[in-house]
A and B are shown apart, each in its own frame.
Chain A
Amino acid sequence: MFKQIQNWFDERIGLTKVIEEFNGERIPRRGGWAYTFGSLLAFLFTVQVVTGIFLLFYYVPYFPIARNATYFLKHHVVFGNILLGIHLWGAFTMIFFILIHMARVYFSGAYKKPREMQWVAGMVLFSVVVILGLTGYMLVGNENSWWTINVLTNVASHTPFIGGFIREIAKGGTETSVLTMQHIFAVHVWLLPIVVIMFIPIHLFLIRKTGHQGMALEYKNSKISEDDEKRWLKPDGTVPFFPDQFYKDMIVSLVVFAIIYILAVYVGAPIGPMYRPLALHFAPEADWYFLANEELLKYFPGHGLIIFSTFLIPSIGFGILFLIPFIDRTKERSPFKRPAATVLGILFLLLLVYLTLIGGEPKAPATV
């Protein structure tokens, strides 16, 4: 029976061949576990889309009601807390593993020719996912959401020349209002997910197009000299994507999903109090992935310097990240043979962790 269906499709569109071609891609062998993060992220994004769609069954993007809709979803919908929890912890996990994935690619020099555009496509995905996280935080509709909207649109207003317009367009007016929530909702639910859905295939297509290039350790026994670009086309050993690599991807996905699920069930998604615009002793807090930037905002006092923390440093930082493959054009791939890049990368990560840790400390005023 199954064979007959398969034949029916094969006669018409050659389905088996397409699937075999897709699944049979050769993957470098030694670093198998290090290559699982990409698939893991695709899996996590799918989970976000699926849970997000069903959160929409209850969510209302209207400021005073949004938080109560979220509360209802968590406390009165059967297993709603798990659904909401998976969406929240899935988002956190996704941002965390994007950073890991980027670090892996950076340290193994996988962004080098001919894979420059792949890094750029990946950076687009990274930026969009971070904005998805921030807008998701705003949509909960609690006190933190309100202040996050205000603070971030004020940050955007420091963009030279067009800052004020950006703030007004994003908010749908000068005040944080019903239109603000509606805009953020549209961006979080339609606009940005579509960008991600468009760029994941581009990212994948580019990987397949540039062929199976792995980390330096895949070429330990290679006889071709290091300057020769052909060296990077012939890893010592390869395995087919399906089932060898896919098997590892599935194991990693399962472990991560289990962690997300446990966090969703036992920690859940904190909703927090309703927005109280008159509260006198509320200290807004950012999500963990924004704390490094948040910390940066504390320095650079005064009118002339504020632009450094709100615009220049973040945009130059992002610009450098985007352009890494065009800045570092050496052929060397092993992290041990390009110490400058490796040390800079480690220092950058340490700085990020440091800023995140001190950014997360309780702030002075609330405790005085």
Chain B
Amino acid sequence: MAKSSEESPSRRTFMMVVIGLISTVIGIALAVPILGAVLNPLFRKRDIVWTKLGKISDLNLKPLNPTFVPVYFRVKEGWSVNTLPRQVVVVKQVNGDLLFFSNQCTHLGCPLHWIASRQKFLCPCHGGMFNATGQVVGGPPPRPLYQWVHKFGSDKDTVYIQNKFKDNPKDRGI
């Protein structure tokens, strides 16, 4: 019969090592699939699509007068394909160039309001302010408005938008 731990100190050490090893093995074996489930989003590729926004000539843009145009992205998210309705803020600059902003505040992502009387975008959450060209003019936002990745069609009038921001190093969601 094997000695009990009380009779032999080395036997006690052996038992403790075995207990520790068994716990470690079971722990690691469980942790691997759990970590896989938790960290899965980091390994997934984002579904990027081009979506038609519409014709610029239909918008009757006036300089520095933002127009909110909805865009509907059909993207795969997890196990389902969903429609993500988003606002594209189209701004015609004085020189005629077009800017395609997101209406999400660059501070923490609240939906911006365009206040025509003040010629500013205001954030209802923490008081961020942007001017019509997307520059921060007050409040906590750390950077100018996000711009959608966009391209013009062959007719130089139809605009396509990607569900992605330009210059978005931290990969903030749209």
Binding site for B on A (CB under 8 A): 147, 150-151, 154-155, 157, 163-165, 167-169, 171-179, 182, 277-284, 294, 297-303, 306, 309-310, 363-366, 368
Closest to B143 in A: A303
Spot the interface stretch: B4-12, B122-130, B153-161.
Answer: B122-130
Chain B residues contacting A176 (CB-CB under 8 Å) are 173
Give the interface segment out of B21-29, B50-58, B90-98, B105-113.
B105-113
| CA A278 to CA B85, docked complex, whole Å | 7
Q: Provide the bound-state CA to CA distance between A277 and B84, in Å.
A: 8
CB distance from B132 to the nearest CB of A (A): 15
Question: What chain A residues lie within 8 Å of B124 (beta carbons)?
Answer: 282-284, 363, 365-366
The verdict on A151 contacting B109 (CB below 8 Å), with A163-B170, A169-B39 known, is: yes
Decide yes or no: A177 and B108 within 8 Å by CB, A168-B171, A363-B125, A366-B124 being known contacts.
Answer: no
Contacts of B65 in A (CB 8 A): none
B38–A169 touching, CB < 8 Å: yes
Instruction: Decide: A155 and B108 in contact? CB cutoff 8 A.
Output: yes
Cα–Cα, bound, A173→B163 (Å): 14
New A-B contacts (6) at CB < 8 Å, excluding given A302-B140, A303-B142, A306-B140: A155-B108, A157-B170, A157-B172, A174-B173, A284-B125, A301-B142
Chain A residue numbers with a CB within 8 Å of B46 are: 173-174
User: For B84, what are the chain A residues with a Cβ–Cβ distance below 8 Å?
Assistant: 175, 277
Among residues of B, the one whose C-beta sits closest to the C-beta of A62 is B80
* Complex: A65 Cα to B124 Cα, angstroms: 26
- B: interface residue count bin: 35 or more
Q: Which residue among A301, A365, A368 has the maximum number of chain B CB atoms within 10 Å of its CB? A: A365
Knowing A172-B41, A366-B113, say if A177 contacts B82 (CB, 8 Å): yes
Q: Are A306 and B107 in contact (CB under 8 A)?
A: yes
Chain A residues within an 8 Å CB radius of B41:
168-169, 171-173, 179
Of B86, B113, B140, B143, which one neighbours A297 at CB under 8 angstroms? Answer: B140
Shortest Cβ distance from A352 into chain B, in angstroms? 18
Smallest CB–CB gap between A295 and chain B, Å?
A: 9
> Which residues of B line the A interface, CB within 8 A?
38-42, 44, 46, 68, 70, 75, 77-80, 82, 84-87, 103-104, 107-111, 113-115, 117-118, 122-127, 139-143, 170-174
Which A residues touch B111, using CB under 8 A? 147, 279-280, 282, 284
B77 near A179: Cβ-Cβ < 8 Å = yes
Bound-state CA distance A284–B173 (Å) is: 18
Cross-chain contact of A164 among B78, B140, B171 (Cβ < 8 A): B171
- The reply to whether B173 and A364 form a contact with Cβ atoms under 8 Å apart is no
Cβ-neighbour of A174 out of B126, B140, B143, B171 (below 8 A)? B171
Q: Are B78 and A168 in contact (CB under 8 A)?
A: no
B124 to chain A, nearest CB (A): 3
Interface pair A368/B125, CB less than 8 Å apart: no
Q: Once bound together, how far apart are the Cα atoms of A292 and B104, in whole Å?
A: 23
What residues of B have a CB within 8 angstroms of the CB of A366 in the complex? 113, 124
How far apart are the CA atoms of A175 and B83 in the complex, in Å? 12
Known: A163-B170, A278-B85, A278-B87. A169 touches B42 (CB 8 A): yes
In the complex, A154→B113 CA distance in Å? 19
Please tell me which one of the listed residues B85, B109, B139, B172 contacts residue A298 in the complex, with CB atoms under 8 A apart: B139
Closest B residue, CB atoms, query A301: B140
A contact residues around B42 at 8 Å (CB): 165, 168-169
Q: How far is the CB of A311 from chain B (nearest CB, A)?
A: 13
Chain B residues near A157 (CB-CB < 8 A): 170, 172
Minimal beta-carbon separation of A77 from chain B (angstroms): 27
CA A182 – CA B103 in complex, angstroms? 26
Cβ-closest 5 pairs across A and B = A365-B122, A283-B124, A177-B77, A303-B142, A179-B78
B143 touches A299 (CB 8 A): no
Residues in A whose Cβ lies below 8 Å from that of B44: 173
Cβ–Cβ contact B115 & A277, under 8 A: no
A147 to chain B: closest residue by CB: B110
